[in-house]
Structure 1
Amino acid sequence: MIENKSLYPVKLNGKYGFIDNTGKIVIEPKFEYAEEFYGELAIIGIGDNFGFIDKSGNIVSTQEFEDVFEYSEGYTVVEVSGKKGFVDEKGNLKIKAVYDEANGFSEDLAAVQTGYKWGFINKEGNIAIEPEFLAAYDFSEDLALVQLGGKLGYIDKSGKIVIEPEYDYAHGFSEGMAAVQINGDYGYINNKGEMVIKPKYSLVNDFSEGLAAVELNNKYGYIDASGKTVIEFKYDWADSFYEGLAAVAKEDKYGFIDKEGKEVIAVKYDNVDAVSEGLISVEVNGKWGFIDMEENFVINPVFDEVSRFIDGASKVLFENRTRYIDKKGEYIWKVE
């Protein structure tokens, strides 16, 4: 069934439609603009405004929107008459556009701004936490970062301050830890507000798969949840771990390491992206291609841009034209 397939936007004769991963046109090109599907809906252009279609190509929203923003947890932030509201996956304006600003839902709550204050609403559109904060960010592990009096702290889902606002900069919680900055240096607190890794790092990432990339003395390494260095500080840049691998850089060359610090993809490429469906996109001499985990080029570096594979298809840019390729590098869609 169409509903179970990934669909990809394409442009033909000035109009946008959608193909499947074989290159077959599933939704005829008839829209002024189109983006990828998120959940069950895709954003399309209707004149100067935006709307939504389902995977059968039906326009599901009876209202046109001035702008469309992030999708999360089944809801999309939209703009109507300069105000923000939320559309559900059926295209209904589920939460009226009455907010000056709005973030997407996270853990069933969304940060919204009324006047100059931020609070949180639930998925019924009811106020869950009164607007009283200068800034508010997504809930993560049941806590949300908020700003009061020029400093950052954390609240729970009742709106109670559980970690006092005393930080200049801070991150959301990940794996029970949050990075916070004091006097220009970053450390990590636990969900009780206790400093478990003392501030001494100039830049930090969130914990991921038990490790965090941190910068010390202009070099990146990785620490564990006790603050112990587990991968030495020798990189010019380092990303978070995902599925056991992390991208790193030395002397403007990029590759991947595992959690023991072993180079599994040599640090020799001009740029890299994450692993997708067993392939890694790499840049060589200004062009992108794909290698496998043994560093064999499966798709030669000939493209100006590439995207990650989704259901066996990747959107690429070649000679200023958008095309789609399969995992052998064969075109499934191109317009000459």
Structure 2
Amino acid sequence: MHGYIDLKGNQVIPPIYDYATSFRNGIAAVGLDNKTRFISCSGETVLETNILYVGNFSDGRALFQTNGKFGYLDMQGNVVIPPRFDYAYDFSEGYATVTESSAGGIAFIDVNGNFIHDKVYDNAMHFRDGIVSVKHHASGKYGCINATGEYVIDPISDRYICFSEGLSPIEINGKIGYINRQGEIVITPRFAYAGDFHNGFAIIMKRNKFGYINKEGEIIIDTIFNDAEDFSDQLAPVKLGKTWGYLNPKSEFEIEPKYTNASCFIEGIAFVYEKKNIKMLKRNMELIDLGDQYQRLEYFSEGLSLVTVREKRNKYAITKHSIEVTFRG
């Protein structure tokens, strides 16, 4: 069952829901009694629908699935885009990425369900800052288009393009580098792995060890770690040997490695796993012990964390989006 905890670790919305989403713009979708409700941060129901599987609102539309097809509701719960898509994603900047058998590939619609142009792609992401990464059919490479379908960054990358802090990783001949928003290569592809930039740093991997580069492509934190996550709030969780700690931009440990697992800071809170319990770690280093009562914890969104009450003894595996659990049997 699913509920929500606040920044103090208190259950503020009890775990009574069959499914639930994180809060977005003050609203979350939850499932109860074979219906979907949209609740406020206080747990009050603000909208109810008989459709069972509904996502959260984005650009005034909520994605739903029925009989294997996807459509969209408006803020009043009305079906404004009928369920005709084989697959679909949330709206972003007024457009959604969808797959419809008659279209022959992946395409884009507006909030009224109209295709924005007649071009289709082998793969596509979502719009961000007016552009979207798509996979060019003939070349099999990724580039970026605008809302009219015009390429603003030529398809040159073997992986999707997603900008963060003005730069995006690209892959050419099995090596990762970076381009700017003009499509110019600013960091030569030479890394086995390279992530997005956060707080001016990006994770890179060389010889199966992780470190960090700056926006000039200089390695400023040596590749000595067994695993690493992004910087946030000027701290990054890194794994040295078998345990995790927190590193500052000067490559100094503010928290020495001692945790079995650790997450990034989101809304001033990180999750750590220590002595068989999951704990909330505040930026001021205060710890709040949550015990072993939860099977899954999502990162905080708008001051609340979506939690799933556990059913068996478990251990935690922290990912980029949540605290996952694998069962011992």
192, 202, 206: which one aligns with 1:250: 206
Residue in 2 aligned with 1:231? Answer: 187
Structure 1 segments unaligned to the other structure (5+ residues): 10-17, 19-33, 35-41, 51-64
| Helix, strand or coil at the partner of 2:21 | strand
Residue in 1 aligned with 2:56? Answer: 104
TM-score normalised by the chain length of structure 2: 0.77
Question: Quick check: 1:115 aligned with 2:51?
Answer: no
Q: Deviations over 1:226-280 (max 9, x none)?
A: 3211111011112122232222222222122222212232222111122232222
Moved more, 271-280 or 291-300: 271-280
Tell me, yes or no, if the aligned pair for 1:147 and 1:165 is still in contact at 8 Å. Answer: no
Tell me, yes or no, if the aligned pair for 2:278 and 2:290 is still in contact at 8 Å. Answer: yes
Residue in 2 aligned with 1:151? Answer: 105
Residue in 2 aligned with 1:162? Answer: 116
Question: Per chain length, whose mean CA-contact separation is higher, i.e. which structure has more relative contact order (CA < 8 Å, sep 6+)?
Answer: 2
Residue in 1 aligned with 2:178? Answer: 222
**1:333, distance to aligned residue in structure 2 (A):** 4.6
Residue in 2 aligned with 1:87? Answer: 39
| Helix, strand or coil at the partner of 1:276 | coil
Give matches, 1:1-336, under 5 Å. Answer: 7-9=7-9, 18=10, 42-45=12-15, 50=16, 65-149=17-101, 150-183=104-137, 184-309=140-265, 314-325=270-281, 331=287, 333=289
Moved more, 306-315 or 73-82: 306-315
- Separation (CA, whole Å) in 1 of partners of 2:84 and 2:290: 52
Tell me, yes or no, if the aligned pair for 1:204 and 1:212 is still in contact at 8 Å. Answer: no
Summarize the Cα distance change of 1:311–1:216 in structure 2 as closer, same or farther, 3 Å threshold: closer
- Separation (CA, whole Å) in 1 of partners of 2:66 and 2:288: 47
**1:130, distance to aligned residue in structure 2 (A):** 3.2
- Separation (CA, whole Å) in 2 of partners of 1:116 and 1:332: 42
Q: Deviations over 1:21-43 (max 9, x none)?
A: xxxxxxxxxxxxx5xxxxxxx54
Instruction: Return the letter of the residue paired with 1:269.
Output: F
Instruction: Return the letter of the residue paired with 1:44.
Output: P
Moved more, 298-307 or 192-201: 192-201
**1:217, distance to aligned residue in structure 2 (A):** 0.8
Moved more, 169-178 or 246-255: 246-255
Tell me, yes or no, if the aligned pair for 1:289 and 1:299 is still in contact at 8 Å. Answer: yes
Q: Which has the higher strand share?
A: 1
Summarize the Cα distance change of 1:158–1:331 in structure 2 as closer, same or farther, 3 Å threshold: closer
Structure 2 segments unaligned to the other structure (5+ residues): 292-329
Moved more, 290-299 or 128-137: 128-137
Tell me, yes or no, if the aligned pair for 1:84 and 1:97 is still in contact at 8 Å. Answer: yes
| Helix, strand or coil at the partner of 2:14 | strand
Tell me, yes or no, if the aligned pair for 2:8 and 2:288 is still in contact at 8 Å. Answer: no
**1:294, distance to aligned residue in structure 2 (A):** 0.7
Question: How large is the RMSD of aligned CA atoms in angstroms?
Answer: 2.6
Aligned residues: 283
Percentage of pairs with the same residue: 31
Q: Return the index of the structure with the highest Cα Rg.
A: 1
| Helix, strand or coil at the partner of 2:117 | strand
Q: Deviations over 1:87-115 (max 9, x none)?
A: 23342333324224322211222112233
- Separation (CA, whole Å) in 1 of partners of 2:280 and 2:45: 33
**1:165, distance to aligned residue in structure 2 (A):** 5.0
